[in-house]
């Protein structure tokens, strides 16, 4: 009895899976298109395309810009 220990079971609770971004694509508003048009003067086509894709997935202009800056650059 003494000296024998039973193995401790680990908790089976896990983190829920990370939320995936919405896959439903929507059209950009006229204001968003106009703002991207103005923005495109200072940035590459690749940067603008990435921003457009992210904004269509529901991301804000500023968030899309920051993400594009980090991955694509100017």
Residue range 7-38, pLDDT digits in tens? 777 666 776 666 665 556 678 889 999 999 99
Per-residue confidence band for 62, with pLDDT thresholds at 50, 70 and 90 = very high
Is residue 59 over pLDDT 60? Answer: yes
Threshold 0.75, pTM exceeds: no
Which pLDDT score, from 0 to 100, does residue 72 have? 85
How many Å separate Cα 48 from the centre of its chain?
16
Rounded CA-CA distance 27/30 in Å is 9
DSSP 11-54: P---PPPPPPPP----PPPHHHHHHHHHHTTTS-HHHHHHHHHH
Residue ranges per structural domain of the chain: 30-71
């Amino acid at each position: 009895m003494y000296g024998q220990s039973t193995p401790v079971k680990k908790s089976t609770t896990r983190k829920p899976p990370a939320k995936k971004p919405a896959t439903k694509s929507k059209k950009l508003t006229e204001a968003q298109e106009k703002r991207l048009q103005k923005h495109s003067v200072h940035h590459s086509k690749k940067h603008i395309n990435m921003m457009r894709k992210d904004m269509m997935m529901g991301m804000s202009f500023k968030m899309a810009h920051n993400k594009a800056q980090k991955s694509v650059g100017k």
